Structure 1
């Protein structure tokens, strides 16, 4: 399995060098509950909410034998993700060997040093981004 992040149809691409130990995708529904006089509480099924995923791992500052990719080192990953936030463009998340392939936005990006190795530990939270499709109407 590999995890890829990219922008603008792979204009820039990051392959996560160290896979997280796990990932979970949150997928919900926007259901509404109402009180009625004759039937009590009822529930109406709403639309799907935007999916979200949180990834925790680290960006290595040096070469390790277990790395999936060696294109960048430590702070280069941080600088690239921060520049994507500044550019305000959707990010494509692809997780190979799974059906996960979705456009996302960065909801939060927390990172820092923790063990003296120079490796940068991070938590990246992404939320699904839906491209708006407007229908044409004739006047």
Structure 2
């Protein structure tokens, strides 16, 4: 089973995030990755740790899985939009400043099966006698006359 977590428009450049992501890519369990990222001095480590925690939370709350059976399958750092700013300099010139953003996607793989009672809702529809079902005006069958 695959559990996905994403953060879009992270205000860190993809190059800096990839540098940290490459160092933790083969570690394995998400808890070991979090321990490693806590010791990393780069600011990108904090951003990646948030997404790993989000993926762990998705596994626990949405699928009822334990942390022991999980492993990081994929860490993808993509480029987001670039915000273009500038610095005015002498002689009326303007030096561009590119504020780059990133999209982060982490996929966690589990070999456990999810608990069956988690996140399964049964919707029952009951029809009352004499109840009138009203349709919206657009679906009522109005005809338009072309001129």
* TM-score, length-scaled by structure 1: 0.24
Higher relative contact order (CA 8 A, sep 6+): 2
* TM-score, length-scaled by structure 2: 0.23
Q: Name the one with the larger strand percent.
A: 1
Q: Name the one with the larger helix percent.
A: 2
